[in-house]
Amino acid sequence: MSVRVLRPLPEAHVVITGGAGFLGSHLCERFLAEGARVTAVDNLLTGSRDNIAHLLDEPRFTFVEHDVTRHLDIEGDVDAILHFASPASPIDYLRLPIQTLKVGALGTHNMLGLALAKGARFLIASTSEVYGDPQVHPQPETYWGHVNPIGPRGVYDEAKRFAEAITFAYHRSHGVDVRVARIFNTYGPRMRMEDGRAVPAFMNAAIDGVPLPIHGDGLQTRSLSYVDDMVDGFLALLTHDEVGPVNLGSPFEVTMLQLAEAVQDACGSHPGVELHPRPVDDPQVRRPDTTIARERLGWEATTPLAVGLARTAAWWREQREAA
């Protein structure tokens, strides 16, 4: 199979699975802004029409409500497929374990088949969770990870590890032009209010004036990137020759206690924190080695945490007041 060179974005047709989700909807916006034609595919299991309502009248935008674990055909040329369909927060994949495994396996298989049929470039949204509770810090792309495959978080971790494996199998066996992005913690407008991850949980508590819920002693760390930076990273990877995997995330690490304080500052409310039991297999540390992204893609996360949280808090208050 001969793979077409990716056309300039104003001439391109891009398919985005999970297009009504948090990251997917921002991707739809960005590609439309670049002049591309966008087909968003989502079964709305964890995505929302509200995230793309402002795009529905755009003539270059098409929304297809569909579960990608079933066969999908797209008419005409397709230049790129960005596969972002999956539950992504612990509260979701613990509630939807089978669906999470199916979209990582069957969904990725189907979208790779579509990429093969169309000669399209394929970018898979993988995750820092492929590293599990890491024994190497920070985590480079060469690290194979420390994952409990049968633990409650394993449904997400292993779904993404399989997704990477089948993506490289199609690359090696069929010549599919692939890109693999390992996404570290990302936050910003359009995260679900009841998402369950740290930033949404902290925002809700701070605005309500109740103690922010922290699991364990709060000394576990994460590296957080603002969504606009992350979308820049996806675009940089898609349009570069680098196959990956490539870590996309912030190299600056904060403890959960530090994040809780930063969220309270952003919300202008300081009700303090409350400690809760630590979830099973919750990683103690998380920070990407971003050398490849920085040196080969020329990309790095640049939005300071305080700035990104202030933007997120402003959006959060608007949504809460409108509800």
Neighbours of 319 (CB within 10 A): 13
- CA–CA distance, 148 with 156 (Å, rounded to integer): 11
Token readout for 294 is 């920085």
How far lies 52's CA from each of 27, 34, 178, in Å?
11, 17, 26
CA angle 205, 209, 211 (to 5 degrees): 60
- CA–CA distance, 197 with 134 (Å, rounded to integer): 19
| 156 belongs to the catalytic site | yes
Report the Cα 31 to chain-centroid distance in Å.
16
- CA–CA distance, 252 with 161 (Å, rounded to integer): 25
Given 93, 156, 170, 187, which residue is catalytic?
156
Token readout for 139 is 């985590």
- Spatial neighbors of 38 by CB under 8 A, at least 6 apart, are 13, 14, 15, 16, 19, 28, 31, 32, 55, 60, 61, 62
Mark out the alpha helices in 240-285 (DSSP H runs): 256-267
CA angle 229, 187, 283 (to 5 degrees): 110
Token readout for 44 is 């709305």
How far lies 301's CA from each of 143, 233, 282, in Å?
21, 8, 24
DSSP string covering 90-125: HHHHHH-HHHHHHIIIIIHHHHHHHHHHHT-EEEEE
At residue 232, what is the residue type?
Answer: D
Catalytic residue numbers, as ranges: 156
